[in-house]
Amino acid sequence: MLRSTDHQKVFLMKRENISSGSTWEPIIGYSRAVKVGPHVAVSGTTGTGADGKLVGQGDPEAQTLQALSNLETALSRAGASLKHVVRTRLFVTQIDQWEKIARAHGQYFGEIRPATTLVEVKRLIDPDMLIEIEADAIITEE
């Protein structure tokens, strides 16, 4: 049960917006990640490289690995790591490729095992993008 002082602390947590430096962030009005207290929410992340170009065109596993690497970078900028991830959501354009995507996800989360959802979507913002991943993390004590 929350005491009144605990309830007040929830509303006094600082919000920190974490940017990836993407030109799209100010145009669309979003942040790569948002940290409030111990909670970190990472926006949908695709398989784009540091140069802004898509990695692994036509290869869902390569795109998944790059998206997860990008997600890991965003978490790090927020003071979190993959071990803090409690949920991932994977949006894929070709559900029949789920095993390749799942194998890549397992390379990053095989030991951590967050709650995960994998769903097929009609398309992503770029027709060559095969996957987009978002994540929620809670920074806990070691």
pTM of the model: 0.88
> Structural domain tally of the chain?
1
State the Cα–Cα distance between residues 135 and 112, nearest whole angstrom: 13
Radius of gyration of the chain (CA): 16
Low-confidence ranges of the chain (pLDDT < 50): none
Tell me which DSSP letter residue 60 carries.
H
* pLDDT score, position 66: 98
Contact 109, 81 (CB under 8 A): no
CA distance 87 to 139: 13
Question: For residue 76, what is the domain's CATH number?
Answer: 3.30.1330.40
DSSP 113: -
Q: Which domain holds residue 130?
A: 4-138
